[in-house]
């Protein structure tokens, strides 16, 4: 997740558990965050020199980094399309696995989608109400219409952006087939909108026959459809969008060349931990046009990689330069 910060006070204090850094007046900073973990969990104790960050392929010097444990402003986004009806029990099971990983201090909203997306429970800190509404809603939900997964993610991002002040780190967790009809705007546009909303996207994939078709490795079937363009639908999935935001995709079953995530429901709880416990990294805003969207790359330094050879780094891969205050 990335935010461009404008620090105009003489001293800006970061609210973290360790001694706070100070910055000079008039410094404008890019703020990124990244999750770093291996099979044992979150890797702690990393410092600025343990990261290599590139902004539009140019290395930047980090001013500061800190591992933060933040509450979540989390949107649970459930697919209620006609094709998902056979997976009602699996959908409810994935939701139940999520609940123990949500904790006091988090705020949660509930949305559902098929050919459109709707808010069923606004963002709230009443976790008991969240659990009741999710359980009741999924038990009695009507599954109908088609799925437009990319549009639904965009609507969830807009909802996050409409909240006046983030209570914690913003995130969307989608539950569904990860297969939907094509939507205007494209994957790159939705990823950029998620950058602007400062929101991580992750997904729990409960496959349907459509998911299996999308990831079908049979080239002859695809060739046959390409020769029948009237039968070839436009479809969407969100794996690449999630990766651009520093999120994770969890597959409850293998589909085509995509393998089931090992211990998927354990991985789901870990993914929520990865959302909330992340390193914040700060560096000077580069010379750029106001509003420009810039790509970033975050990796461990060679020395840190030697110490942590199995480490995975997931982080947002871009941000928007602030429209005011750029030097």
Query: For the packed helices 186-196 and 149-162, what is the interaxial angle rounded to 10 degrees?
Result: 20
Q: In the beta sheet, which residues pair with residue 53? A: 298
H-run or E-run covering 214 = helix 209-214
Phi–psi pair at 102, nearest 5 degrees: -90, 135
Separation in Å, CA 250 to CA 106, 207, 235, 270: 22, 11, 20, 11
pTM, two decimal places: 0.87
pLDDT at position 164, please? Answer: 85
Tokens 């099971």 belong to which residue? 93
| Res 224: pLDDT | 47
Residues 6+ apart with CB under 8 A from 306: none
Sole residue written with tokens 């950029």: 192
Tell me the per-residue pLDDT of 281-297, one tens digit each, with 9 for 90 and over.
999 999 888 888 999 99
Contact 172, 201 (CB under 8 A): yes
Place of tokens 């979540």: 72
Whether 174 contacts 152, CB under 8 Å: yes
Question: pLDDT tens for residues 59-110?
Answer: 999 999 999 999 999 999 999 999 999 999 999 999 999 999 999 999 999 9
User: Which tokens hold the place of 144?
Assistant: 């109908």
Closest Cα partner for 153 from 174, 128, 182?
Answer: 174
Break the chain into its structural domains and give their ranges: 2-68+280-320, 72-274
- The helix (run of H) or strand (run of E) holding residue 136 is helix 127-140
pLDDT beneath 50: ranges in the chain: 4-26, 222-232, 325-327
CA proximity to 201, closest of 250, 152, 243: 243
Which fold, 72-274?
Rossmann fold (3.40.50)
* Cβ pair 92, 315 in contact under 8 A: no
- Distance CA(77)–CA(153), nearest Å, equals 8
Q: What is the pLDDT of residue 184?
A: 66
**In angstroms, rounded to a whole number, what is the distance separating the alpha carbons of residues 110 and 130?**
8
Beta partners for 51?
300
Task: Give SS3 for 310.
Answer: coil
Residues ≥6 apart with Cβ < 8 Å to 51 = 34, 62, 65, 279, 281, 298, 299, 300, 301, 304
Q: What is the structure's pLDDT at 234?
A: 62
């Amino acid at each position: 997740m990335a935010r461009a910060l404008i620090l105009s006070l003489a001293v800006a204090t970061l609210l973290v558990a360790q001694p706070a850094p100070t910055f000079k007046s008039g410094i404008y900073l890019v703020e990124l965050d990244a999750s770093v973990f291996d099979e044992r969990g979150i890797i702690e104790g990393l410092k600025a020199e343990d990261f290599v960050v590139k902004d539009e392929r140019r290395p930047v010097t980090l001013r500061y980094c800190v591992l933060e444990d933040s509450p979540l402003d989390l949107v649970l986004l459930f697919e209620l399309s006609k094709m998902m009806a056979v997976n009602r029990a699996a959908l409810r099971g994935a939701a139940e696995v999520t609940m123990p990983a949500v904790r006091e201090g988090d705020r949660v909203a509930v949305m559902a989608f098929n050919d459109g997306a709707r808010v069923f429970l606004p963002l709230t800190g009443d976790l008991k109400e969240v659990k009741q509404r999710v359980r009741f809603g999924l038990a009695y939900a009507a599954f109908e219409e088609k799925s437009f997964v990319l549009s639904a993610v965009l609507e969830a991002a807009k909802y996050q952006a409409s909240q006046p002040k983030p209570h914690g780190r913003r995130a969307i967790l989608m539950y569904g087939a990860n297969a939907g009809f094509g939507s205007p705007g494209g994957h790159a546009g939705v990823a950029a909108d998620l950058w602007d909303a400062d929101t991580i996207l992750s997904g729990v994939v409960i496959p349907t026959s459509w998911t299996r078709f999308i990831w079908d490795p049979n080239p002859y079937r695809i060739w046959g459809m390409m020769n029948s363009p009237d039968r070839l639908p436009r479809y969407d999935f969100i794996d690449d969008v999630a990766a651009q935001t520093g999120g994770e995709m969890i597959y409850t079953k293998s589909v085509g060349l995509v393998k089931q995530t090992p211990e998927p429901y354990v991985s789901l709880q870990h993914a929520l931990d990865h959302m909330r416990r992340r390193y914040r990294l700060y560096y000077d805003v580069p010379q750029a046009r106001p509003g420009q969207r810039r790509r970033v790359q975050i990796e461990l330094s060679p020395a840190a990689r030697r110490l942590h050879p199995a480490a995975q780094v997931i982080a947002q891969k871009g941000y928007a330069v602030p429209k005011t205050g750029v030097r």
